[in-house]
């Protein structure tokens, strides 16, 4: 029943989104920007500015909806190491969702290191609980349901965490980092944390799997934490020496747009990162930043 | 309703202690496990003897002396209240039948003598295979960890994943044990125990246990003892039938205090209230037991079946299979265990570290260290890897097989060395990026570098600590492309030092 509901709502949502997309192209430079980029503030403050620019969280979260937030909580390291999404940012997002009337805000990641240690040492667990959200484990196969990926050639199906399937709103909150294999990790790469078997991706052309899986469900919002950024040795990092204080934040409803802009922050072009190229070709989103409506804010 | 007597008080005390020890093998919480482990760390004789004989520690010696002192005053209280394996036998007996008429046998002096000799011999030649099988604490640990933790963690994880439970968020998945040969071994041991307990009571404690044997010699001279009042005794023989350790001779109205495990069944059952636990000394020596026939061999239950040494499954639409089999010369022993010499000499395979390990990388070995070291844990990178920021196993090991190690020392202690098999790796075979090994490596011993438009793994073993994160993460099947070969003597690793990245802060956006 739930799944049918989900499919129904997502079809509706998809339809709604594409209509918005259409009207936007018509009204070029209209109300809702494709990308909001903020600089020089604290993560939570930059988020405040950015979401206001998008018309507030009420545009994305309706009363009584369930919201799932997917930060990067992959590693058992402290926040200064910038391997996990900034906890203050996650907490502020939860606050906005609850203020918009969300019935429940749940947070999870299929972590790489031991999940309990990741949840606690990233401080995300503490901040989420304090903000009124709920941490849910992601480390047991039982939580994951098999879904088909219609556009998939290398990855035809995947087991996805049921919170993604059951929730009304999906907010993707990656942290921008360098990545040994994929070069960098942002929005699309962050979705590896909603699937069960990542090993399959790694041995079957990582870039193509990331791109193809991105056609499965587009997050309603992608909020890229680029406040403190791991510029080398990612995604785990070796020490704080790997990080630089960029004090930036990006929000987009389009993962390709968000990832292209984030790549530039790290000194990459979309062409350097094969999964961004492939996702753009699959129609996941747009990488032609110069043609998009970008709102830039300096705090 | 009868007023609770010594038997009930003893049962209560034993049960409380039992619950703590049981919990230590079940609870896998990082703060609670060491607390629980420390409650009984200095209470188990065989681990204490090993600690003292291999690396002298004053506390352990004091603990042994206290146990001996306690025994010479009160008798084998250790067996009745402090030995979890003894209490487990009592619980099994209770489950089987509320009141069992035991057919326990008197023991000839030769048996405890041999057991004590075996204990001394094992300690002297530093070969503890006999202790591994005879130590009650380790036997207990293997049963609880192998059977109960396996059952509990598997059922918890089944429920945790199923819809309703996780929507209500009642059950969290836990790191536990997979179904392995330890489960079968534990179940078989438990079955044997159940059978013999119901029939012969505390047979193990007087026929096989080296700790019990040692205490038997001490308790011969104990101040407090259970004795029969020669005058009021009506000679009904009830006490003898209900005695767990076969230490009562009704005809002679005598109790062999060396064999008595202080269960106080006799006091409870005696219709004429003729049996007392007191300082009254009846010094009439007891004639040697007339028979001692039955000898049961626990070792029959020793060999289970190794279920799955190499687990792999092929799913999905994998296009490539790796071709070079991994040949690991040496198993990897836990951080803090220093060397095979230290570890294998002291470990009694109690499985406490296996139960507590937060990532579940520690598991009982089968033949990894050789069959004579069966059950002693090693790091199993097919299951998980050693967490960079964790020294839990070293904090709880009761025998010193895993010595305490500081966090910062552990991070630079090399347990093994990574080996890269390029011919298995998808970056080389499929010409596609992967990076899973470098991603997980906490020291950057393996890192990805640019080569021909690809990101290629490069290994520098100066920094490798052998945690196995790379091996666990490596996705190739059926054989891994990177694995860790153990070191028989742990080494020091170098720390990779890099300059802080310099960054010029601009207010502008690059787009």
Q: What is the spatial distance between Cα B161 and Cα A143, in angstroms, rounded to a whole number?
A: 5
Give the nearest chain A residue to B449 (CA atoms): A180
Q: What is the spatial distance between Cα B414 and Cα A140, in angstroms, rounded to a whole number?
A: 31
Q: Which among B225, B265, B280, B261 has a CA at the least distance from the CA of B74?
A: B225
Q: Output the CA torsion B37→B38→B44→B48 (10° steps).
A: 120
B294–chain A nearest CA distance, Å: 49
The minimal CB distance from B511 to the residues A139, A207, A289 is found for: A289
For B255-287, letters b (16+ CB in 10 Å) and e give: bbbbbbbbbbbbbbbbeeebbbbeeeeeeeebe
pLDDT value of position B39 = 81
**Inter-chain CB proximity B511 and A294 less than 8 Å:** yes
Chain A CB contacts of B172 below 8 Å: 137
pLDDT value of position B170 = 62
What's the token pair of residue A130?
């304090």
Q: What is the spatial distance between Cα B43 and Cα B82, in angstroms, rounded to a whole number?
A: 7
What's the token pair of residue B365?
């070995």
**Tens digits of per-residue pLDDT, A134-186?**
999 998 888 899 999 988 999 999 999 999 999 999 999 999 999 999 999 99
**Do the beta carbons of residue A228 and residue A176 sit within 8 Å?**
no
Q: What is the spatial distance between Cα A78 and Cα A123, in angstroms, rounded to a whole number?
A: 7
Q: What is the spatial distance between Cα B80 and Cα B10, in angstroms, rounded to a whole number?
A: 7
Residue matched to tokens 């394996």: B85
Q: Count CA atoms within 13 Å of residue B240 on its CB side.
A: 16
Beta strand residue intervals within B397-453, DSSP E: 413-420, 446-451
Q: What is the spatial distance between Cα B439 and Cα B109, in angstroms, rounded to a whole number?
A: 62
A141–chain B nearest CA distance, Å: 7
What's the token pair of residue B368?
């990894």
Q: B210-219 vs B45-54: helix axis angle to the nearest 10?
A: 100
pLDDT value of position B166 = 54
Give the nearest chain B residue to A288 (CA atoms): B511
Q: What is the spatial distance between Cα B186 and Cα B175, in angstroms, rounded to a whole number?
A: 19
Q: Which residues contact A67 (CB under 8 A, 6 or more apart)?
A: A61, A97, A102, A104, A105, A106, A167, A168, A169, A170, A171
The H or E element that residue A172 is part of is strand A169-173
Name A297's bridge partners: A38
The minimal CB distance from B503 to the residues A121, A134, A244 is found for: A244
Query: Within a 10 A sphere around the Cβ of B409, how many other Cβ atoms?
Result: 14
What's the token pair of residue B175?
């790191």
B172 close contact with A: CB closer than 8 A: yes
**Inter-chain CB proximity B433 and A76 less than 8 Å:** no
Q: What is the spatial distance between Cα A284 and Cα A188, in angstroms, rounded to a whole number?
A: 10
Q: What is the spatial distance between Cα B7 and Cα B446, in angstroms, rounded to a whole number?
A: 62
Chain B CB contacts of A180 below 8 Å: 435, 438-439, 447-448, 455
Q: Which among A185, A295, A297, A164 has a CA at the least distance from the CA of A233?
A: A185
**Inter-chain CB proximity B511 and A247 less than 8 Å:** no
C-alpha distances (whole Å) from A141 to each of A145, A195, B379 are 9, 9, 23
**Tens digits of per-residue pLDDT, A23-72?**
333 344 457 899 999 999 999 999 999 999 999 999 999 999 999 999 99
For A:159-218, CB contacts with B below 8 A are 162, 179-183, 197-208
Q: What is the spatial distance between Cα B82 and Cα B140, in angstroms, rounded to a whole number?
A: 12
**Inter-chain CB proximity A40 and B507 less than 8 Å:** yes
Distance in Å from the first CA to the final CA of chain B: 86
The DSSP symbol for B509 reads -
**Tens digits of per-residue pLDDT, A110-131?**
999 999 999 999 999 999 999 9
**Inter-chain CB proximity A197 and B316 less than 8 Å:** yes
pLDDT value of position B508 = 83
**Do the beta carbons of residue A24 and residue A238 sit within 8 Å?**
no
Instruction: Provide the whole-model pTM.
Output: 0.86
Q: B84-96 vs B6-26: helix axis angle to the nearest 10?
A: 110
pLDDT value of position A76 = 96
**Do the beta carbons of residue B381 and residue B484 sit within 8 Å?**
yes
Give the nearest chain B residue to A227 (CA atoms): B505
The DSSP symbol for B454 reads E
pLDDT tens over chain B, length 511 residues? 467 888 999 999 999 999 999 999 998 788 888 888 888 889 999 999 998 988 778 889 999 999 999 999 999 999 999 999 999 999 998 888 766 677 766 778 888 899 999 999 988 888 889 999 999 999 999 999 999 999 998 888 887 766 554 555 667 788 878 888 999 999 999 999 999 888 888 989 999 999 999 999 999 889 898 999 888 898 898 898 888 888 888 888 888 889 999 999 999 889 988 998 988 554 444 443 433 332 333 333 333 333 333 333 334 467 788 999 999 999 999 999 999 999 999 999 999 999 999 999 999 999 999 999 999 999 999 999 999 999 999 999 999 999 999 999 999 999 999 999 999 999 999 999 999 999 999 999 999 999 999 999 999 999 999 999 999 999 999 999 999 999 999 999 999 999 888 877 677 899 8
Question: If you average pLDDT over every residue of chain A, what do you get?
Answer: 91
Q: Output the CA torsion B303→B304→B310→B311 (10° steps).
A: -170
**Inter-chain CB proximity B498 and A236 less than 8 Å:** no
Please provide the DSSP assignment of A59-88 as one string. GT--TT-EEEEEE---SSS-GGG-SS--HH
Q: Which among B483, B481, B478 has a CA at the least distance from the CA of B456?
A: B481
The H or E element that residue B429 is part of is helix B426-429
What's the token pair of residue A212?
């193809």
Residues in chain B: 511
Query: Can you give B60-101 as a three-state secondary structure string?
Result: HHHHHHHHHHHHHHHCCHHHHHHCHHHHHHHHHHHHHCCCCC
Whether residue B478 has a cis bond before it, omega within 30° of 0 = yes
**Do the beta carbons of residue B361 and residue B178 sit within 8 Å?**
no
The minimal CB distance from B439 to the residues A139, A181, A245 is found for: A181
Give the nearest chain A residue to B168 (CA atoms): A136
Q: Which among B169, B167, B187, B168 has a CA at the least distance from the CA of B177?
A: B187
Q: Which among B33, B205, B123, B28 has a CA at the least distance from the CA of B399?
A: B123
């Amino acid at each position: 029943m739930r799944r049918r509901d989900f499919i129904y709502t997502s079809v509706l949502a998809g339809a709604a989104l594409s209509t918005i997309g259409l009207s936007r192209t018509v009204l070029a430079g209209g109300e809702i920007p494709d990308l909001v980029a903020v600089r020089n503030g604290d993560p939570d403050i930059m988020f405040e500015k950015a979401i206001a620019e998008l018309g507030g969280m009420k545009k994305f979260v309706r009363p009584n909806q369930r919201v799932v937030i997917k930060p990067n909580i992959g590693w058992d390291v402290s926040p200064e190491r910038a391997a996990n999404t900034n906890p203050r940012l996650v907490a502020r997002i939860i606050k906005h969702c609850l203020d918009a009337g969300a019935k429940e805000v749940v947070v999870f990641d299929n972590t790489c290191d031991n999940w309990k240690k990741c949840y606690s040492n990233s401080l995300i667990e503490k901040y989420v609980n304090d903000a009124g959200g709920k941490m849910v484990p992601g480390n047991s196969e039982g939580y994951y349901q098999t879904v088909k990926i219609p556009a998939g050639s290398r990855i035809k199906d995947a087991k996805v965490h049921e919170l993604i399937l059951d929730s009304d709103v999906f907010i993707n909150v990656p942290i921008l980092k360098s990545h040994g294999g994929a070069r960098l990790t942002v929005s699309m790469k962050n979705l590896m944390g909603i699937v069960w078997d990542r090993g399959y991706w790694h041995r079957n052309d990582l870039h193509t799997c990331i791109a193809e899986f991105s056609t499965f469900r587009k997050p309603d919002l992608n909020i890229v934490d680029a406040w403190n950024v791991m510029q080398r040795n990612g995604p785990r990092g070796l020490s704080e020496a790997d990080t630089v204080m960029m004090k930036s934040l990006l929000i987009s409803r389009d993962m390709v747009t968000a990832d292209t802009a984030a790549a530039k922050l790290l000194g990459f072009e979309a062409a350097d990162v094969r999964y961004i190229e492939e996702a753009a070709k699959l129609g996941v989103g747009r990488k032609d930043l110069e043609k998009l409506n970008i709102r830039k804010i300096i705090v | 309703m009868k007023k609770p007597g010594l038997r009930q008080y003893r049962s209560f005390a034993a049960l409380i202690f039992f619950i703590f020890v049981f919990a230590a093998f079940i609870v896998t919480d990082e703060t609670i496990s060491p607390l629980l482990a420390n409650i009984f760390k200095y209470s188990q004789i065989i681990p204490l003897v090993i600690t003292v004989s291999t690396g002298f520690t004053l506390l352990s010696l004091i603990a042994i002396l206290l146990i001996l002192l306690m025994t010479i005053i009160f008798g084998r209280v250790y067996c009745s209240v402090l030995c979890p394996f003894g209490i487990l036998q009592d619980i099994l007996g209770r489950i089987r039948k509320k009141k069992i008429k035991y057919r326990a046998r008197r023991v000839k002096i030769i048996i405890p003598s041999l057991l004590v000799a075996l204990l001394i011999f094992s300690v002297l030649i530093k070969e503890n295979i006999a202790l591994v099988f005879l130590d009650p604490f380790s036997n207990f640990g293997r049963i609880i960890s192998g059977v109960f933790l396996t059952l509990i963690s598997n059922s918890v994880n089944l429920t945790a994943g199923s819809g309703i439970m996780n929507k209500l968020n009642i059950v969290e998945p836990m790191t536990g044990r997979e179904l392995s040969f330890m489960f079968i071994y534990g179940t078989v041991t438990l079955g044997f125990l159940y059978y013999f307990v119901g029939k012969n009571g505390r047979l193990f404690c007087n026929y096989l246990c080296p700790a019990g044997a040692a205490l038997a010699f001490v308790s011969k001279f104990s101040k407090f003892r259970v004795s029969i009042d020669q005058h009021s005794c009506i000679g009904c023989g009830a006490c003898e039938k209900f005695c767990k350790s076969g230490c009562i001779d009704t005809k002679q109205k005598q109790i062999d205090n060396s064999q008595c495990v202080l269960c106080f069944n006799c006091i409870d059952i005696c219709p004429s209230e003729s049996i007392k636990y007191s300082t009254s000394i009846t010094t009439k020596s007891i004639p040697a037991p007339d028979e001692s026939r039955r000898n049961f061999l626990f070792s029959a239950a020793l060999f289970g079946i190794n279920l799955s040494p190499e687990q792999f499954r092929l799913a999905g639409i994998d296009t490539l299979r790796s071709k070079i089999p991994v040949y690991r010369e040496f198993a990897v022993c836990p951080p803090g265990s220093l060397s095979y010499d230290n570890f294998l000499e002291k470990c009694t395979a109690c499985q406490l570290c296996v139960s507590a390990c937060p990532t579940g990388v520690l598991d009982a070995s089968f033949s990894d260290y050789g069959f004579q070291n069966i059950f002693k844990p090693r790091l199993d990178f097919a299951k998980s890897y050693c967490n960079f920021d964790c020294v839990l196993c070293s904090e709880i090991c009761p025998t010193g097989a895993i010595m305490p190690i500081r966090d910062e020392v552990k991070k630079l202690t090399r347990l093994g060395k990574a080996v890269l098999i390029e011919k298995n790796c998808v970056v080389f075979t499929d010409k596609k990026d992967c990076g899973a090994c470098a991603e997980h490596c906490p020291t950057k011993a393996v890192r990805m570098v640019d080569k021909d438009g690809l990101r290629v793994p490069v290994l520098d073993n100066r920094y490798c600590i052998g945690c196995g994160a790379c091996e666990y993460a490596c996705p190739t099947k059926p054989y891994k492309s990177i694995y860790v070969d153990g070191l028989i003597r742990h080494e020091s690793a170098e720390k990779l030092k890099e300059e802080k990245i310099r960054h010029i802060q601009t207010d502008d956006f690059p787009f």
